[in-house]
Amino acid sequence: MVGTDVMTAAAPTRPAVSPAKGQAEKPSLIGLNREEMGDLFREVGIPDRQIKMRVSQIWNWIYVRGVSDFDVMANVAKDMRAMLKQNFTIARPEIVEEQVSNDGTRKWLLRFPPRGAGRPVEIETVYIPEEGRGTLCVSSQVGCTLTCSFCHTGTQRLVRNLTSEEILSQLLLARDRLGDFPDRDMPIGTMMPAEGRKITNMVMMGMGEPLYNFEEVKKALLIASDGDGLSLSKRRITLSTSGVVPEIFRTGEEIGVMLAISLHAVRDDLRDMLVPINKKYPLKDLIAACRAYPGLSNARRITFEYVMLKDVNDSLEDAKGLIQLLKGVPSKINLIPFNPWPGTNYQCSDWAQIEKFADFINAAGYASPIRTPRGRDILAACGQLKSDSERMRKTDRLAFEAMMIVGHGEDD
Ligand code: SAH
Ligand code: SF4
């Protein structure tokens, strides 16, 4: 069943421009590239000779200044603003819940309005502040069609792909909430200096498999890294995939962001169980695709994520296999302590074993940071995201909290 139904889960198409439509059905200007925005402007009667200027003006308001209301676009004439408002939206999604962890991690549960005949969907976005940087973890799908056995999101069926608008809106909303856009009264054209920003990095590591939603993810990331807009450096954007081999080359070629691979096992028999897409694209093919990743070098290494599961994949034999497998691939190995969730049969490896595993890999010359679990108390850590109708029932939550109290104390 792995990957069979994903291609049918296309992102919903955008509504056509029509002044008669209700507010919720107006097309959003967020997530469109300049050409698409220009086409929409043309459709509502903006003259050809103005299109380029209007696009760059509105682009600046949306992505540099972060406005979500046409009325504050001071250098746009009043009747033009009214016309834009009548035809388009630049509104943010609704925040259903905002949680702040005791370690400063923030998690937003966001609701997007129905698309076409669909129903509203909810997804989660997580902000992780660290010394000298802040990372936003963004979702690409509602749920996931893959069924990695250790992942909470994998227990939720795919509802649909997110549109580029919805993917980018997660970044815009997080920047709003964190005060990461310039003040309203700063002069037009002010760019937020990269050093002062709260969100310095973005990872496609939230809900979903980004490479099963390639086109929308590509569009969103190209806008997020646009130098005249949100201007996140492509070196600070990482896309994580469970191993959708046919799309890996395109990711480097067409998007140009950093790549992370959810490896988790170094033998096909074990990886088939943990990351079932491995049956379709086994390790040999996956590593070959990594070797061919455009731009790969010692300065632009691939991150291999490896979740530490007690007595499953955490032996020194596995560590040895890992080094052999990655021989000659410029890599960083990111060890992720398993984050528990209610109903899982896995346990996190003992801390001493994780350290032994890390030391072994380090001795072989690989950087192998152990990822500190963040935001576990609000279920914001890797693999804990789940949403929508499937949010935890209160009894589950209480059981989970009890598990956390007796569980690992690495957050402290
Ligand atoms: N679908 C993509 C990106 C989202 S998952 C992928 O699989 O790469 C982000 C990372 O969290 C992946 O490396 C995933 O394997 C890992 N992960 C999933 N569940 C986890 C859990 N319970 N504990 C720790 N890491 C987990
Ligand atoms: Fe989907 Fe990634 Fe979770 Fe696997 S680890 S089920 S690909 S979100």
According to the model, what pLDDT value does residue 158 have? 77
Are 298 and 331 spatial neighbours (Cβ–Cβ below 8 Å)?
Answer: no
pLDDT digits (tens, 9 = 90+) for 214-245: 999 999 999 999 999 999 999 999 999 999 99
Are 241 and 261 spatial neighbours (Cβ–Cβ below 8 Å)?
Answer: yes
According to the model, what pLDDT value does residue 234 have? 97
Residue 314 has pLDDT above 90, yes or no: yes
Structure tokens at 125: 């976005």
Q: At 351, is the pLDDT very low, low, confident or very high (cuts 50, 70, 90)? A: very high
According to the model, what pLDDT value does residue 367 have? 82
CA-nearest residue, atom 6 of ligand 2: 154
Residue 15 has pLDDT above 50, yes or no: no
Q: Which domains does the chain have, with CATH numbers?
A: 29-87 (1.10.150.530), 94-407 (3.20.20.70)
Are 279 and 272 spatial neighbours (Cβ–Cβ below 8 Å)?
Answer: yes
According to the model, what pLDDT value does residue 232 have? 96
Are 220 and 259 spatial neighbours (Cβ–Cβ below 8 Å)?
Answer: no
DSSP letter, residue 97: E
Residue 398 has pLDDT above 60, yes or no: no
Burial class (CB in 10 A: 0-12, 13-18, 19+), 31: buried
As a whole number of angstroms, the distance between CA 289 and CA 254 comes to: 15
What are 75-83's contacts with CB under 8 Å, separation 24+? 75/188, 80/54, 83/44, 83/45
pLDDT, the chain, mean: 85
According to the model, what pLDDT value does residue 370 have? 87
Averaged pLDDT for residues 349-369: 93
Residue 392 has pLDDT above 70, yes or no: no
Q: Is 203 in the pocket of ligand 1 (CB under 6 A)?
A: no
As a whole number of angstroms, the distance between CA 227 and CA 238 comes to: 17
According to the model, what pLDDT value does residue 341 have? 87
Q: At 9, is the pLDDT very low, low, confident or very high (cuts 50, 70, 90)? A: very low
Angle at 75 between CA 73 and CA 80, to 5 degrees: 70
The atom number, within ligand 2, closest to the CA of 144 reads 1
- Give the Å distance between the CA of 187 and the centre of ligand 2: 44
Are 173 and 145 spatial neighbours (Cβ–Cβ below 8 Å)?
Answer: no
Coil, strand or helix at 90 = coil
Burial class (CB in 10 A: 0-12, 13-18, 19+), 376: buried
CA-nearest residue, atom 9 of ligand 1: 205
According to the model, what pLDDT value does residue 408 have? 25
Averaged pLDDT for residues 5-22: 41
Q: Is 209 in the pocket of ligand 2 (CB under 6 A)?
A: yes
According to the model, what pLDDT value does residue 62 have? 96
According to the model, what pLDDT value does residue 383 have? 62
What does DSSP say about strands 258-262 and 302-308: parallel, antiparallel, or unpaired? parallel
Are 229 and 66 spatial neighbours (Cβ–Cβ below 8 Å)?
Answer: no
As a whole number of angstroms, the distance between CA 94 and CA 377 comes to: 23
Place of tokens 């398993």: 338
Residue 185 has pLDDT above 70, yes or no: no
Structure tokens at 67: 């406005």
As a whole number of angstroms, the distance between CA 179 and CA 37 comes to: 26
pTM: 0.88
According to the model, what pLDDT value does residue 65 have? 93
Residue 195 has pLDDT above 50, yes or no: yes
- The residue whose CB lies within 8 Å of the most ligand 2 atoms, and thus the one to mutate among 242, 279, 386, is 242
CA-nearest residue, atom 21 of ligand 1: 383
pLDDT digits (tens, 9 = 90+) for 86-132: 999 999 999 999 999 888 899 999 999 887 777 899 999 999 999 89
Averaged pLDDT for residues 151-161: 83
End-to-end CA, the chain: 41
- Give the Å distance between the CA of 307 and the centre of ligand 1: 8
Q: At 196, is the pLDDT very low, low, confident or very high (cuts 50, 70, 90)? A: confident
Of 27, 25, 47, give the one whose Cα is nearest residue 37: 27
Are 307 and 338 spatial neighbours (Cβ–Cβ below 8 Å)?
Answer: yes
Residues whose CB is less than 8 angstroms from the CB of residue 270 and which lie 6 or more positions away in sequence, other chains included: 312, 313
Residue 395 has pLDDT above 70, yes or no: no
Q: Which DSSP helix (H) or strand (E) runs through 141?
A: strand 141-142
Of 252, 161, 141, give the one whose Cα is nearest residue 204: 141
Structure tokens at 412: 């402290």
Q: Is 153 in the pocket of ligand 2 (CB under 6 A)?
A: yes
Q: Is 211 in the pocket of ligand 1 (CB under 6 A)?
A: no
Identity of the residue numbered 361: I
According to the model, what pLDDT value does residue 379 have? 66
As a whole number of angstroms, the distance between CA 39 and CA 189 comes to: 24
Question: Nearest ligand to the C-alpha of residue 260?
Answer: 1
Identity of the residue numbered 160: R
Percent of the residues in the chain that have a pLDDT greater than 70, as a whole number: 82
Residue 83 has pLDDT above 70, yes or no: yes
Structure tokens at 165: 């608008």
- List the catalytic residues: 124, 382
